[in-house]
Amino acid sequence: MSAAELKPAVQEADEWRTAQAQFDEAAELIRLEPWLREVLREVQREFTCTFPVKLDNESIRMFTGYRVQHNINRGPAKGGIRYHPDVSLNEVKALAMWMTWKCAVVNIPFGGAKGGIIVNPRELSLNELEHMTRRFATEISILIGHDRDIPAPDVNTDGQTMAWIMDTLSMHLGYSSPASVTGKPIEVGGSLGRIEATGRGVTITSVAALEHLGRNPHQTRVAVQGFGNVGSISARLLEEAGCTIVAVSEDYGGIHNPLGLSIKRVLEYRAREKTLNGFPGSQPIGNQELLSVDCDLLVPAAIGNQLTSRNARDVKAKLIVEGANGPTTPEADAIFRERGIFLVPDILANAGGVTVSYFEWVQDLQSFFWSEHEVNQKLKAIMTRAFAEVLNTREEKKLDMRMAAYVQAVSRVAAATRERGLYP
């Protein structure tokens, strides 16, 4: 057993440690000045709030939430809000830092932020969710706004959550402020194409990676972990691009068919039965088992820390495209590098969401809305260019794709920070 495999899982699973380790490696590669290393390896602002919500049975429950801004030198802070029982300050800090790099990789004028509440939203009624969301929006209203920090959906939050946040902020202001939040429903200033944007970006980068590897999408078998916004849309669009989807899963497990699953039918089945279990013609598959299923392309699109030193050697796919944020620990990354697996990192692969969030923000500020075709075309142009730039850096500097993306991103953020200089 290697040293990496002996490391305690707790340490390996600390996202903030992962984020800082990735940054340190990139900072070393570009010989970043020591003062910039110190600035960029920390978050600029971290905010914790503990707040009460009255439940339907009139009892009061306390919740803890976070909003973290990592860096705002290239523009307002941008990042999603997550509702999950495992949310922690360290996780939110890492996600905020990754947002800074993600916006810089695709070169959109935002800094990085993230937020979250420690909650299992399935335990709350819709009414309770709305009250919790509106109270959290009030708590973080001292930080957020269209020119300061702009939230978006993430795990277990959606357009409805964003509409409640936008409405709460607007009520405080006394006028509507649609540009203060993205991922909103179309009726309140959302952008066409935003719901599909992250999965579309995953598909664009997957197809670009397959092309680079000289592989035909029509001969590519795909496994997707997570069948939420990112996972289900990636699966549908990859299928449209010609791939065969052999396995998909949710938190309770998933389904497998080596001959291929019809994603359209799986979506219809899940909408009807509220589960993937029992989909005709499929065999059940565990979440961990899915990661090592026989396939060519693996898309982790659920939560962080899924690919670790414990399972990285079992992965059969030769291509991994990270739909989720932080699905791979540094230990697993090292194993993938050693095994010659081509990995498209989260900060590039799932940047389609924040890119169309940027389009939504621009449209809201101008009150001038684009067609879905225009949104998708502009998204494709940005994702394709970013993929090509990262690939170039990879080849020029003999790096893996993650470090190449980091080199691009950290160089851009460092340049902005350097040029702005130190205040006061």
> What is the C-alpha separation between 408 and 72, in angstroms, rounded?
17
- Cα–Cα distances in Å, from 97 out to 86, 100, 114, 292? 18, 5, 8, 29
Site for ligand NAD in 158-217 (CB under 6 A): 198
Q: How far is the CB of 350 from ligand NAD (least distance, A)?
A: 4
Span of 118-126, 310-318, 322-330, 379-387 interacting with ligand NAD by CB under 6 A: 322-330
Residue closer to ligand NAD (CB basis): 69 or 414: 69
Is residue 73 within 8 Å of residue 416, measured between CB atoms? yes
Query: Is 225 an interacting residue with respect to ligand NAD (CB under 6 A)?
Result: yes
264 classed as catalytic:
no
Which residue in 135, 120, 52, 122 sits closest to 83, CA to CA?
A: 120
Comparing every residue's Cβ against ligand NAD, the nearest one is 228
Query: Is 282 an interacting residue with respect to ligand NAD (CB under 6 A)?
Result: no
Q: What is the DSSP string of 323-350?
A: -SSS-B-HHHHHHHHHTT-EEE-HHHHT
Pick the binder of ligand NAD from 70, 353, 390, 401 (CB under 6 A).
Answer: 353
Q: What is the DSSP string of 403-417?
A: HHHHHHHHHHHHHHH
Span of 127-135, 216-224, 227-235, 237-245 interacting with ligand NAD by CB under 6 A: 227-235
Contacts of 122 (CB under 8 A, 6+ apart): none
Residue closer to ligand NAD (CB basis): 230 or 285: 230
Span of 104-112, 141-149, 248-256, 365-373 interacting with ligand NAD by CB under 6 A: 248-256
Pick the binder of ligand NAD from 123, 211, 251, 268 (CB under 6 A).
Answer: 251
Q: How far is the CB of 332 from ligand NAD (least distance, A)?
A: 16
Q: What are phi and psi of 20, to 5 degrees?
A: -70, -40
Query: Is 154 an interacting residue with respect to ligand NAD (CB under 6 A)?
Result: yes
The DSSP element (H or E) to which 248 belongs, if any, is strand 244-250
Query: Is 115 an interacting residue with respect to ligand NAD (CB under 6 A)?
Result: no
Q: How far is the CB of 30 from ligand NAD (least distance, A)?
A: 25
Query: Is 65 an interacting residue with respect to ligand NAD (CB under 6 A)?
Result: no
Which one of 114, 184, 316, 380 is the catalytic residue?
114
Span of 43-51, 135-143, 154-162, 399-407 interacting with ligand NAD by CB under 6 A: 154-162
Query: Is 151 an interacting residue with respect to ligand NAD (CB under 6 A)?
Result: no
Burial class (CB in 10 A: 0-12, 13-18, 19+), 109: middle
The encoded tokens of residue 144 equal 């957020």
Q: What are phi and psi of 65, to 5 degrees?
A: -135, 165
The encoded tokens of residue 380 equal 């494709």
Site residues (vs ligand NAD, CB under 6 A): 153-156, 198, 225-231, 249-251, 287, 301-303, 323-325, 350, 353
Catalytic (active-site) positions: 114
